[in-house]
Amino acid sequence: MRSSLSGGLPSTLGDCNRIRELDGLRGVAIGMVLLCHFFQIPLAVPPATALSYAQAAARLSWSGVDLFFVLSGFLIGGILLDSRASTNYYSAFYRRRFFRIVPIYLVTLLLTGALISLELRSAGEPFKWLTMEGAPWYAYLTLTQNFWMAHAVSFGSNGLGMTWSLAVEEQFYLMVPLYIRALSRRWLTCALVIGICGAPVLRILVLQFRSDNWVGTYTMMFCRSDALLFGVLAAVLLRNERWRERIRSARLTFSVLVLILLLGLAFLTLQAGGLKSSLIKSVGFTWIAIFYVTILLFVLTRPESVLTKALRMRWLCWLGTLAYGLYLFHTGIQFLLFGIIFRHGPLLNSIPTLLVTLAAIALTFLLAALSWRYFEQPLIRMGRQSNFEFGGAETLETPPAGVRLVYR
């Protein structure tokens, strides 16, 4: 899930080939997801209280996934642009993606399957919240569970419901290398713009026929491709010297654009917020993606800004490093602990439930840290053994001066 862009900046994590602000953005993304699932959704408080207002203010915390999509499109798109002339373009790319994504994903599937095989559901109502109504196992194994979710209008098993976004990214990885390899920069840019504009149009068309199917507009790849394609477009622009300078020098434009986008996000928070809102399902996803890609371009072209320096903080980079494991583990651990202790799904309405929530967070971080140290990193090193080979051919795209892309 993670790759990294480096501009020669020293890393707090011991990797000199990293740009730390991208890890920081990833840390922000996973922090938003954890906030949403551990606090915003389960929180049960009386209306018109301080906590209820805080809960309302965090309504868009689910959009941390959209920030992941923008980052993924940018990083993967950049890697493919820089290696598009390589002789082993496809084999090196997919080998690296396999070692980064598939092993830990299969471990998650096996652990969830083990819980089901132990018949935890028979212990009573609580455990069905973890395992009930899951997609068929072949859907998870082929990373097509988002099709089942869209058809069933359900996320299925709570222990694996978050894997819809992984399916979206993997389906995107099957498509975007073909376009980047085959198209010139001009035609690629046109294709990206068409895809970005087409995503909200497709969502609106889906709503015309199935207005109740909010899960479909949320989980299907072509409905959510605008965020991913915005990331690829950002990678294309930053590899063009003229556009890179335009972005760097557009101070007033950035200020006005960010202000307008923030006002739009405030409106979405107040008037929509939820994924079932027609405003979110139609143009809201695209608006959010524009905001995130604007922030991405800002921090990459202004290394001395306050925001960029804040994103380089050690703890935020560390959070970004663990993001994939945290994302895969957190909901299963949360539902399991609440089921064992309270015999129901997550609900945050008392001191005991808060303590269990904090315990679930601590356990999630512990498992993610162990997974990163002893499982994911060795596999990533194996994937990195597949280098892109050019055989004397010149690359068709030149990355920005002093910038290299490396896999995570």
Nearest Cα to Cα of residue 224 among 280, 307, 274, 266: 280
In 61-93, which positions are buried (b, 16+ CB within 10 angstroms) versus exposed (e)? bbbbbbbbbbbbbbbbbbbbbbbbebeebeebb
Residue pLDDT tens, the chain, 408 long: 333 333 332 223 334 356 899 999 999 999 999 999 999 999 998 988 999 999 999 999 999 999 999 999 999 999 999 999 999 999 999 999 999 999 999 999 988 877 766 655 555 554 555 555 678 889 999 999 999 999 988 888 878 889 999 999 999 999 999 999 999 999 999 999 999 999 999 999 998 888 788 899 999 999 999 999 999 999 999 999 999 999 999 989 999 999 999 999 999 999 876 888 889 999 999 999 999 999 999 999 999 999 999 999 999 999 999 999 999 999 989 988 998 898 888 999 999 999 999 999 999 999 999 999 999 999 999 998 888 988 754 444 444 444 444 434
Residues 6 or more apart in contact with residue 155 via CB below 8 angstroms: 149, 161, 164, 215, 219
* Dist. CA 248–CA 264, nearest whole Å: 24
Is 6 a domain residue? no
The model carries a pTM of: 0.90
Other CB atoms closer than 10 Å to residue 352's CB: what's the count?
A: 10
Please spell the DSSP secondary structure of 318-349, one letter per residue. HHHHTHHHHHHHHHHHHHHHHHHHHSSS--B-
Residues 6 or more apart in contact with residue 23 via CB below 8 angstroms: 4, 11, 13, 311, 316, 317, 320, 321
Which helix (H) or strand (E) segment holds residue 200: the answer is helix 185-209
Report DSSP state, residue 62. G
Is 13 a domain residue? no
**In this structure, which amino acid lies at residue 177?**
P
Nearest Cα to Cα of residue 13 among 401, 405, 373, 381: 373
The vertex-11 CA angle with 8 and 13, nearest 5°, equals 150
Angle separating helix axes 323-342 and 20-35, nearest 10 degrees: 20
Tokens of 269: 């928070």
Judged by DSSP in three states, 4 sits in strand
Is 4 a domain residue? no
Report DSSP state, residue 10. -
Q: Domain count of the chain?
A: 1
Is 1 a domain residue? no
Is 9 a domain residue? no
Task: Answer yes or no: are the C-beta atoms of 244 and 238 closer than 8 Å.
Answer: yes
Q: Is 23 exposed, middle or buried (0-12, 13-18, 19+ CB in 10 A)?
A: buried
What is the domain extent for residue 187?
A: 20-407
Other CB atoms closer than 10 Å to residue 373's CB: what's the count?
A: 11
Task: Answer yes or no: are the C-beta atoms of 3 and 76 closer than 8 Å.
Answer: yes
Is 398 a domain residue? yes
Q: What is the distance, to the nearest Å, from the Cα of residue 197 to the centroid of all Cα atoms in its chain?
A: 20
Task: Answer yes or no: are the C-beta atoms of 261 and 202 closer than 8 Å.
Answer: no
Is 121 a domain residue? yes
* Dist. CA 72–CA 408, nearest whole Å: 11
Is 3 a domain residue? no
Which helix (H) or strand (E) segment holds residue 5: the answer is strand 3-6
